[in-house]
C-alpha cells in the first residue's frame, strides 16, 4: 500500500481551522495545489452458495452470475419492491437476459426463490448472533482500514474522505417512481474508475492485482478525488468520490452557499420590485420570467430542469405543464405535480391578482401536456437573475426562503424557562414549517405503528409509576405507610415529592416525543437542516436559549457544520 506523506506538525499559535483564516478563498478557480490519496476500495467478490432456483417445481442450477442476481431478488421478497410493478417488470426483463434463448426459464412468475430466500435469512440471523468479541474485531478491522486509506492529504493537511468504497452491485432502485427501477447494477472494476491526484504526487496503487485504473488525471480545478459510472446502465449518473462533509472543500462550499443567500436578503426588495414590473409588462417573455420567479420566491418551488426519457417524470416551476395547474375563486390556484424524488406537490394558495391573470392567459389554447412557461427555460431565468448578482440562481431562493422562515419562526420564542424538551419541540415545529414550505416529504415508516405502540407503552409505565408515587405520598400525609410498601419507593416524604417532580417531567417529555413523532411522520425534517437552513441560525438560537446543540443536530451534522459551531449567540441571518 502506498505510504502517505507525513503530516506537518502544527506550529505554536498556528490555526488549523480553515474558517479562522483571515482570507477565505472562494475556490472559484484553483481548488488545491497538492492532492494525495489511496484511491478507492472495492466490495468483496461474490461467493456462490450453490442453492438452486426452482422453476415450475424443478430445481435449476445457476451460474455464479445468475445466482448472485437471484440472491438480490430473494432479499427483496416480502418488501414493497417485490410487488412494485415497474421494479418487477424491469427485473424480469434483465434477469431473463442472463439465460440463453433456449433456456427453460421464461417467466419470473414461475420462479421460486424460497430456498435462496431462506439461505439469505439464515445468513442474516447468523450475522445478528455474532458474539460481542467478533463484532468488536470487525469494528476494529474497519477502523484500521479507515485510518490507513480513509484519509487524503490536501495541500499538506490531512482530510477525511466520505465515500471511499465504490457502490456495490445490486438492483437499481432510483428515487421515487423511477422508470428504470429493477435494472441490474454492475460490479465495478478498476477499469471503471478515473483517479484525480496532484501532478507531483504519487498515483494510488490499484488494489486489484492484474487490473489498472481507467484513467489518472491531475485536475486541480475540481474537488473530486475519483469518479465512475456504471458501464451497463446508460442512464445512471456519474458518481464522485469527495472529501467528507467536515473537510474544508465541503465546509467552505456550504458557507459560501449560505453567504450567497444572506447577500440575497439585501437585494430581495429590488428583485421583487423588478419581477413585479415584468409581470405587468406586455412582452410575453418578460411576463413569464416575472411570473415564474414570483412562484419560485413565494412557494419555494424548485426551478425544474429538462428530463430525459430515462428519468422519472418529475417537474419544477419552469417545466410545469397545463395539467399541473387549476384555477379557483378569489385569485387562488392549485398546483399538483410530482416534484423531486417523485414526491407529490399539492398546494392551493392565494396569489397576486396580476399573477393569477397571467397564468390563466398562459394556459389559453394549450393542451394538457403543453408547458405552462413555454417561452422561458431554466437557463434564461438564471441569466435574468445574474443581472442582480453574478452568482445568483433560482436555487438560491430556496436556501434564502428556508433560512429566513426559520429565523422568523425562532424569533417568536420568548420562554427561556421552558424545559429543554419543550424548547426542542418549539424548534422542531419551526423546522417542520420550513420542510412543508420546501415540500420535503417522506413516506410513513413501515414500522411507525410499532414504534408508536412501544412509546405509548413507555408512557403508560411512566404514568403508572407517577400514580404509585402520588399514592405513596398520600401515605406519608396520612401517616399510614403500608408495611409491605415497595422497597424501591422513596423512604421519606421529601424524597417522594422530588421523585414525583422527576416523574411528571419524564411523563411530559414522553408526551412531547410522542406528539413530535406523530406530527413528523410524513415530513422529512433532515433535508432542510442539511441543505437549506443556514446552520448558524440554529446554533445561535441554541446558545441563546440554553439548548444543547446535540438535541437538534446529530453528530453527522455537527461534523458537517463544524464551522458554524463557533457562531455567536447574537448572530442573525
> Which amino acids are annotated catalytic?
532
- Grid cell, residue 107, equals 417467466
DSSP state of 203: P
CA–CA distance, 260 with 253 (Å, rounded to integer):
10
What residues pair up with 151 in beta bridges, in sequence order? 160
Residue 155 backbone class (left: φ over 0; alpha: ψ -120 to 50; beta: rest): left
3-class state of residue 40 by DSSP: coil
For residues 484 and 419, the answer to whether their CB atoms sit within 8 Å is no
- Grid cell, residue 58, equals 424443478
3-class state of residue 443 by DSSP: coil
Q: What share of the chain is helix, strand, coil (3-state, %, to 5)?
A: 45, 10, 40
Hey, which bits of 12-122 come out as E strands?
35-36, 53-55, 58-60, 111-112
For residues 138 and 58, the answer to whether their CB atoms sit within 8 Å is no
Residue 474 backbone class (left: φ over 0; alpha: ψ -120 to 50; beta: rest): alpha
Print burial letters for 171-188: b (CB count within 10 Å at least 16), e (below 16). bbbbebbbebbbbbbebb
The number of CA neighbours under 13 Å toward the Cβ of 303 is: 21
- Grid cell, residue 271, equals 428583485
Q: Which of 78, 44, 48 is nearest to 63 (CA)?
A: 48
For residues 293 and 394, the answer to whether their CB atoms sit within 8 Å is yes
Find the helix or strand (DSSP H, E) in which 66 lies.
helix 64-76
Output phi, psi for 196, to 5 deg. Answer: -120, 120
- Grid cell, residue 142, equals 474497519
Amino acid at each position: 500500500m502506498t505510504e502517505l506523506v507525513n503530516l506537518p506538525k502544527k506550529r505554536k499559535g498556528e490555526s488549523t481551522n480553515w474558517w479562522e483564516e483571515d482570507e477565505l478563498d472562494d475556490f472559484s478557480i484553483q481548488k488545491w495545489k497538492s492532492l494525495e490519496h489511496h484511491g478507492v476500495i472495492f466490495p468483496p467478490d461474490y461467493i456462490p452458495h450453490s442453492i438452486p432456483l426452482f422453476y415450475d417445481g424443478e430445481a435449476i442450477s445457476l451460474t455464479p452470475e445468475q445466482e448472485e442476481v437471484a440472491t438480490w431478488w430473494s432479499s427483496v421478497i416480502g418488501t414493497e419492491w417485490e410487488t412494485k410493478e415497474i421494479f418487477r417488470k424491469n427485473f424480469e426483463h434483465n434477469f431473463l437476459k442472463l439465460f440463453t434463448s433456449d433456456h427453460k426459464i421464461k417467466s419470473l412468475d414461475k420462479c421460486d426463490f424460497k430456498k435462496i430466500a431462506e439461505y439469505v435469512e439464515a445468513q442474516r440471523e447468523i450475522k445478528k448472533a455474532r458474539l460481542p468479541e467478533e463484532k468488536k474485531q470487525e469494528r476494529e478491522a474497519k477502523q484500521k482500514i479507515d485510518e490507513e486509506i480513509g484519509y487524503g492529504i490536501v495541500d499538506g493537511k490531512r482530510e477525511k474522505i466520505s465515500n471511499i468504497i465504490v457502490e456495490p452491485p445490486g438492483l437499481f432502485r432510483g428515487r421515487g417512481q423511477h422508470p428504470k427501477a429493477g435494472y441490474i447494477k454492475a460490479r465495478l472494476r478498476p477499469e471503471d474508475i478515473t483517479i484525480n491526484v496532484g501532478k507531483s504526487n504519487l498515483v494510488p496503487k490499484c488494489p486489484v492485482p492484474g487490473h489498472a485504473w481507467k484513467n489518472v488525471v491531475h485536475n486541480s480545478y475540481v474537488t473530486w478525488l475519483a469518479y465512475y459510472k456504471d458501464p451497463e446502465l446508460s442512464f445512471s449518473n456519474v458518481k464522485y468520490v469527495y472529501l467528507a462533509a467536515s473537510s474544508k472543500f465541503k465546509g467552505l462550499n456550504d458557507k459560501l452557499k449560505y453567504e450567497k443567500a444572506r447577500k440575497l436578503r439585501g437585494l430581495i426588495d429590488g428583485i421583487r420590485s423588478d419581477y413585479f414590473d415584468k409581470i405587468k409588462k406586455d412582452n410575453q417573455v418578460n411576463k413569464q420570467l416575472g411570473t415564474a420567479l414570483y412562484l419560485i420566491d413565494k412557494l419555494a418551488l424548485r426551478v425544474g430542469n429538462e428530463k430525459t426519457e430515462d428519468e422519472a417524470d418529475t417537474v419544477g416551476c419552469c417545466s410545469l405543464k397545463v395539467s399541473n395547474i387549476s384555477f379557483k375563486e378569489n385569485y387562488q390556484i392549485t398546483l399538483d405535480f410530482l416534484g423531486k424524488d417523485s414526491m407529490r406537490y399539492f398546494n392551493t394558495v392565494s396569489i397576486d391578482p396580476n399573477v393569477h391573470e397571467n397564468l390563466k392567459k398562459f394556459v389559453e389554447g394549450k393542451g394538457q401536456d403543453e408547458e405552462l412557461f413555454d417561452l422561458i427555460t431554466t437557463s434564461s431565468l438564471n441569466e435574468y437573475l445574474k443581472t442582480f448578482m453574478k452568482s445568483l440562481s433560482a436555487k438560491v431562493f430556496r436556501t434564502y426562503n428556508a433560512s429566513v422562515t426559520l429565523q422568523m419562526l425562532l424569533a417568536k420564542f420568548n420562554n427561556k424557562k421552558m424545559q429543554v424538551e419543550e424548547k426542542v419541540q418549539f424548534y422542531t415545529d419551526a423546522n417542520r414549517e420550513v420542510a412543508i414550505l420546501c415540500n420535503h416529504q417522506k413516506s410513513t415508516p413501515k414500522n411507525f405503528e410499532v414504534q408508536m405502540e412501544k412509546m405509548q407503552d413507555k408512557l403508560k409505565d411512566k404514568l403508572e409509576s407517577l400514580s404509585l408515587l402520588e399514592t405513596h405520598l398520600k401515605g406519608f400525609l396520612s401517616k399510614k405507610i403500608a408495611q409491605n410498601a415497595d422497597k424501591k419507593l422513596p423512604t421519606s416524604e421529601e424524597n417522594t415529592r422530588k421523585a414525583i417532580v422527576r416523574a411528571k417531567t419524564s411523563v411530559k417529555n414522553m408526551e412531547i416525543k410522542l406528539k413530535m413523532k406523530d406530527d413528523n411522520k410524513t415530513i422529512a425534517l433532515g433535508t432542510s437542516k442539511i441543505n437549506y437552513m443556514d446552520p448558524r441560525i440554529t446554533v445561535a438560537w441554541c446558545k441563546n436559549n440554553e439548548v444543547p446543540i446535540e438535541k437538534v443536530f446529530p453528530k453527522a451534522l455537527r461534523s458537517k457544520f463544524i464551522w458554524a459551531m463557533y457562531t455567536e449567540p447574537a448572530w442573525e441571518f
